[in-house]
Chain A
Amino acid sequence: MNLRAYVVATGALLVLGPRVAHSQGIVTAAPPAGDVAQAFKRLAPAVVRIEVRETGAVALSSVGSGFFAAPSGRIITNYHVISRLVNEPGRHRGRATWGSDTVDIQVLAVDVVHDLAVLDAPDAHGAAMLTPVTVNLLKGDRLLAMGHPRDLGLSIVEGTYNGQVEHVLTPRLHFTGPLNPGMSGGPAVTPAGALVGVNVATMGEELAFLVPAEFVTRLLSRLPATLPTADALRRDMATQLGQMGVDALDALFIPGAPTVQLGPYRAPTEPSAAFQCWGDAREPKDAAYRLVVHRCGTDESVFLSEDLNAGLVYFSHQLLDGASLSRIRLLTASEQAFNDKLTFDGTARETTRFRCTTGNVRTATMTFRAEVCARRLKSLYGLYEAVMRATPLGATAQSLVTTLTMSGVRFDLIQRTVARYLASITLSPETQE
C-alpha cells in the first residue's frame, strides 16, 4: 500500500455515506455523567443533522452533522459532508434538520484545507448558537462531542483531549473518544459548553480528530456578502490549496535540509516537522539484491471529493543494493523498479490524464534519469498533481530510485520543488566514480 493509500485508509472521515457506512464498527460510549446530560440538554438545540440528496434518485448521498455558530447564526459543518453541493451542485440538494425544523441549505464559504464549510440557512430563525472560543486545553481535559452517529439520532459522547496531532501540515486536535460516521461537522465542546473544535475524522479504536475552533472563527470572519456560485467556491478552494502548497513546499529540500545516507547516496528525509519517515530493508523474492526503502510523508490528505484527495507531498527512496550483481543486471533491476506502475485516485471528470516528460539531469555530483508525470485537477483551477521519479546513471553496485509526489499544487511550485529535490540528492565523494 502506498503512503497516500495508507493515509486515506486510516484517516476515515466521519460523514455517513455509501462509501463509509460499513467501514467502522460502532464503539459504545460510556454512560454520560450528570453534567453531560445537562450539557446535552443545553447544546442540542444548536446541533443539526445535515443531509445531501441526489435529486434524480431522491436518495440520500450523505448524512452528517453541523451546528449554528455565533455571531452569524450560520451553520458550520465539514466540507466533506456537503462536498457534493460544491462539486455537483446541479444534481444535489442539501437540508438541515434540528428538532422539528427542516430548512434548505446553501454553501456560503469553504475552507477546504481545514475541511470546514459555512452553510446559509435563510429560513432558520431562533436556533441556539455555539460560540467558538480559544481555550487553553491540557492533555486529559474532558471534551464532549455531538452529532448524528450513523444517522441514529442526536447523540453526545465523552472523551479526552490529547493534544495537537503531530506530523500534519494542518493543525488537528487529537480527541480520544468514540466518534462515528455521521458525526462529521458536529461540535466538540468543553463540559461548560465552550466550542473547541469540529468533529472531522477517526481512525477507529476511539482515535479521533477535531478541527480547532480557531479555524471556524477565521472562516466566519471572511464570509462573502452574497451567496457565491459553486464555480466561485471552487476557485476559492483552489486558491486556498495553492497557498497551502506554497507554505508547505517552498521551504523543503533547501541546502542544509536533513538527509539520510542510503548506500553511497545522501537523500532528503524529514524535511519538516510535519513529515514522518519510515524505513524497511528486505530481499525481494527471487531477486539477487537487497532493497532498502525509505519513505516520508505527512499523515493526512486533503479531501476534495468522494473520488479525489490531495496529499500535497510525499516521497520515497528505494536503494537497490546489488553488490553481487553485474552492472547490467543492476541496471535491469533499476529499470524494473523505475517502471513500476503507480495508481492514483480521481475520475475523468475531475482530472486530466497523466502526461509525462523525460530528461537527463546533471547535479553537482551525478547525472539522473528523471521522468515527471503530471495531470491537471480540472475543477481546481491552476492546480496540478505531479510525480517525479529519478535514478542516477552509471550506478555500479548500488542504485537509487527516488519518487516525489505532489498533489493539489501550483505548477510553478512543482517546477521549483522538482529542481530542489534533485539537487538535494548527492553522491558521497568517497564513493563517487
Chain B
Amino acid sequence: MSWIEVVDANGRVVARRAAEGVPCTVGSALDNTLLIEGPDVAPYHARIDREADGRLTVTVLGQSSGLQRPGAPELAMFLALTPSAPVAVGGSVIRLVDEATRDVSVVASGPEPRWREFVSRRPVQWGAAALLAISGAAIGYFTMPGSERAVNALAVAVALVLAECAWVGLWAITGRIRHGRARFGEHFVVATAIAIVGWAVAELESWQQFLLPGAGAAATVLLAVTAVVWALAILLHLRVMNQAHWQKHVRIAAGFGVALFVMVLAVRDYQGPWSSDIEFSAVLKPFARVWASSPDQFGESLTKLRGQLDKDDEEPAATVAEDTAGS
C-alpha cells in the first residue's frame, strides 16, 4: 500500500493519506485533505490527482506560488509525484512512499473531534449568543440598583455580546488570514463556554475574598485556576483554527497560562505610584453567617497593618532635619 506523506522542514511527517485516497487537496486551510502550514503556502495550494495511467500528479490551484522539486529553483504549475520525485510546497515536501513511516508521530487527519463538530452546528452557535445575551440581561435586571431595570438589562446584554464579539473577532481574523476560514461561530461557542467557566471562577474568588479576607494561599490557588481557564481558552481557540499541531498548541496555551500566573503573582502586591487616594475593595454577599472577630479583636488585628506602615518608605523626614529651624 502506498502513502502520500507531508514532511515538514524539520523532517517530521506531519500529515499522511493513503495514495488510493486521491484526488485530494493540499494547503493551509483546515478543510484541505493534507494540511501544510507555512508563509509560502496558500490556503488551497494544490491538488493531487491520479492520471489515467495510474501516475499521481500535483497541480497548482488559484493564487498559490507554485511547486518545486526539492532543491531545484524552478517553479512549476504541474509536477508528477513518484517515490523518487517528491514535490516541495513552501518549506514542506510531499512524497510518495510504499510503506508508511512508523517511527514518527503523525497528525491524525481523520474525522473532526466531536466537540468541534458540536460547536460548528448553527443552532449551537445561535444558542451560545442567546445564552450570553440572556445572562447579561439577567445580571443587569436582577443585580443593578438603578431604577431603569430594562435599560440596565439591555445595556449589560449588549456590552457582554459586543465584548465577546471583539474577542472572537480577533481569533476569526487570525484564522481567516492564516488558514483561509474565519470560523466566527465556532469561536463564539468556545468563548461563551469559557466566559461561563471564567465567571464561575471569578465568583469563587469573590467568595474567597468575602469569607477569607487576606488568605493569600487561597487567593494564589484561585489565581492558578484562572490561569488554567485562560490557557484552556487559548488552546480551544487554536484548535478551532487548526486541527494540526496538537503539541504545539498545548505548548502555546500552557506557556500563556504560566506567564499569566507568574505575571499576576509578581504584580499582585504592587501598589502603583504614591497616591493620597483610598480605593476600598469590599466584596459583599447576601450572607451574614461568616467567621467574624469581635470589635476588640478586630482593633487588635490592626497591629499588623501598623507594622506594614512602619516599614513603608523607611526614610522618614527625620533625615532632613538636624538643622536648626530657620537657620
Q: Tell me if A339 and B281 are in contact (CB < 8 A).
A: yes
Q: Assess whether B302 is interfacial by the CB under 8 Å rule.
A: yes
Q: Per-residue CB proximity of B270-300 to A under 8 Å, as 1/0?
A: 0100111111111111111111111110111
Binds B, one of A104-112, A148-156, A273-281: A104-112
The answer, among A286, A327, A415, for a CB contact under 8 Å with B299, is A415
**Distance (Å) between the CB of B73 and the closest chain A CB?**
66
- Given known contacts A286-B147, A384-B309, A371 and B326 CB-to-CB distance under 8 angstroms: no
Q: Tell me if A418 and B142 are in contact (CB < 8 A).
A: no
Q: Assess whether A341 is interfacial by the CB under 8 Å rule.
A: yes
Q: Assess whether A266 is interfacial by the CB under 8 Å rule.
A: no
**Distance (Å) between the CB of A394 and the closest chain B CB?**
3
The answer, among A92, A334, A372, for a CB contact under 8 Å with B326, is A92
Q: Tell me if A371 and B325 are in contact (CB < 8 A).
A: no
Residues in A with CB closer than 8 Å to B317 are 87, 234, 349-350, 378-379
The answer, among A336, A362, A367, A379, for a CB contact under 8 Å with B316, is A379
Given the complex of chains A and B, what is the CA–CA distance between A288 and B289 in angstroms?
A: 27
Q: Assess whether A233 is interfacial by the CB under 8 Å rule.
A: yes
**Distance (Å) between the CB of A209 and the closest chain B CB?**
25
Q: Per-residue CB proximity of A128-141 to B under 8 Å, as 1/0?
A: 00000000000000
Residues in A with CB closer than 8 Å to B295 are 361, 363, 418-420, 422-423
Q: Tell me if A329 and B143 are in contact (CB < 8 A).
A: yes
Q: Tell me if B293 and A328 are in contact (CB < 8 A).
A: no
Residues in A with CB closer than 8 Å to B298 are 359, 361, 370, 418-419, 422
Which residues in window 66-110 of B have CB below 8 A to A? none
Q: Tell me if A346 and B276 are in contact (CB < 8 A).
A: yes
A233's nearest neighbour on chain B, judged by CB, is: B325
Residues in A with CB closer than 8 Å to B305 are 355-357, 372, 374
Q: Tell me if B316 and A344 are in contact (CB < 8 A).
A: no
- Given known contacts A231-B322, A331-B285, A384-B309, A356 and B280 CB-to-CB distance under 8 angstroms: yes
- Given known contacts A289-B145, A356-B280, A393 and B288 CB-to-CB distance under 8 angstroms: yes
Residues in B with CB closer than 8 Å to A394 are 286-289
Report whether over half of chain B's contact residues are helix, strand or loop; otherwise say mixed: loop
Q: Tell me if A89 and B309 are in contact (CB < 8 A).
A: no
User: Chain B: how many interface residues by the 8 Å CB criterion?
Assistant: 61
Q: Tell me if B327 and A106 are in contact (CB < 8 A).
A: yes
Q: Tell me if B280 and A339 are in contact (CB < 8 A).
A: yes
Q: Tell me if B282 and A287 are in contact (CB < 8 A).
A: no
Q: Assess whether B267 is interfacial by the CB under 8 Å rule.
A: no
A346's nearest neighbour on chain B, judged by CB, is: B276
**Distance (Å) between the CB of B204 and the closest chain A CB?**
18
Residues in B with CB closer than 8 Å to A230 are 320-325
Q: Tell me if A342 and B284 are in contact (CB < 8 A).
A: no
Q: Tell me if B284 and A107 are in contact (CB < 8 A).
A: no
Q: Assess whether A431 is interfacial by the CB under 8 Å rule.
A: no
**Distance (Å) between the CB of B313 and the closest chain A CB?**
5
**Distance (Å) between the CB of B276 and the closest chain A CB?**
5
Residues in B with CB closer than 8 Å to A361 are 292-295, 298
Q: Assess whether B310 is interfacial by the CB under 8 Å rule.
A: yes
Q: Assess whether B214 is interfacial by the CB under 8 Å rule.
A: yes
Q: Tell me if B147 and A288 are in contact (CB < 8 A).
A: yes
Q: Assess whether A174 is interfacial by the CB under 8 Å rule.
A: no
Best-buried of B149, B300, B302 by chain A (most CB within 10 Å) = B302
Q: Assess whether A244 is interfacial by the CB under 8 Å rule.
A: no
Best-buried of B276, B288, B294, B308 by chain A (most CB within 10 Å) = B276
Q: Assess whether A223 is interfacial by the CB under 8 Å rule.
A: no
Which residues in window 260-292 of A have CB below 8 A to B? 286-289
Q: Assess whether B55 is interfacial by the CB under 8 Å rule.
A: no
Given the complex of chains A and B, what is the CA–CA distance between A195 and B138 in angstroms?
A: 72
Residues in B with CB closer than 8 Å to A353 are 271, 274-275, 312
**Distance (Å) between the CB of A291 and the closest chain B CB?**
11
Q: Tell me if B292 and A329 are in contact (CB < 8 A).
A: no
Given the complex of chains A and B, what is the CA–CA distance between A108 and B316 in angstroms?
A: 23
Q: Assess whether B146 is interfacial by the CB under 8 Å rule.
A: yes
Q: Tell me if B147 and A287 are in contact (CB < 8 A).
A: yes
Interface residues on A, range: 35 or more
Q: Assess whether B303 is interfacial by the CB under 8 Å rule.
A: yes
**Distance (Å) between the CB of B291 and the closest chain A CB?**
6
Q: Assess whether B304 is interfacial by the CB under 8 Å rule.
A: yes
B310's nearest neighbour on chain A, judged by CB, is: A376
Given the complex of chains A and B, what is the CA–CA distance between A338 and B147 in angstroms?
A: 19
Q: Tell me if B292 and A362 are in contact (CB < 8 A).
A: yes
Q: Tell me if A360 and B213 are in contact (CB < 8 A).
A: yes
Q: Assess whether B301 is interfacial by the CB under 8 Å rule.
A: yes
The answer, among A106, A373, A375, for a CB contact under 8 Å with B280, is A373
The answer, among B277, B284, B320, B323, for a CB contact under 8 Å with A369, is B284
Q: Assess whether B1 is interfacial by the CB under 8 Å rule.
A: no
Which residues in window 200-248 of B have CB below 8 A to A? 209-210, 213-214
Given the complex of chains A and B, what is the CA–CA distance between A346 and B303 in angstroms?
A: 23
Q: Tell me if B325 and A356 are in contact (CB < 8 A).
A: no
Given the complex of chains A and B, what is the CA–CA distance between A422 and B293 in angstroms?
A: 12
Q: Assess whether B144 is interfacial by the CB under 8 Å rule.
A: yes
**Distance (Å) between the CB of A82 and the closest chain B CB?**
7
Q: Tell me if B288 and A341 are in contact (CB < 8 A).
A: no
Given the complex of chains A and B, what is the CA–CA distance between A340 and B281 in angstroms?
A: 9
B290's nearest neighbour on chain A, judged by CB, is: A360
The answer, among A233, A338, A381, A392, for a CB contact under 8 Å with B282, is A338
Q: Assess whether A414 is interfacial by the CB under 8 Å rule.
A: yes
Residues in A with CB closer than 8 Å to B112 are none
Residues in A with CB closer than 8 Å to B278 are 341-344, 354, 356, 373, 387
Given the complex of chains A and B, what is the CA–CA distance between A387 and B279 in angstroms?
A: 11
Residues in A with CB closer than 8 Å to B143 are 328-329, 332
Q: Assess whether B148 is interfacial by the CB under 8 Å rule.
A: yes
Q: Tell me if B306 and A411 are in contact (CB < 8 A).
A: yes
Q: Assess whether A335 is interfacial by the CB under 8 Å rule.
A: yes
Listed A/B pairs (24) with beta-carbon separation below 8 Å: A89-B320, A90-B320, A288-B145, A331-B284, A333-B145, A335-B283, A335-B284, A336-B145, A339-B282, A340-B280, A351-B276, A353-B312, A354-B278, A362-B292, A363-B294, A367-B288, A374-B309, A375-B309, A378-B316, A381-B316, A381-B318, A393-B288, A415-B303, A418-B302
Closest 7 CB pairs of A and B: A394-B288, A419-B299, A333-B145, A230-B321, A379-B317, A360-B292, A362-B292
Further pairs besides A335-B284, A361-B295, A381-B316: 8, Cβ < 8 Å: A228-B325, A334-B284, A344-B276, A349-B317, A356-B281, A367-B288, A374-B302, A415-B303
Which residues of B are at the interface with A, using a C-beta cutoff of 8 A?
142-149, 209-210, 213-214, 271, 274-296, 298-306, 308-310, 312-313, 316-318, 320-327
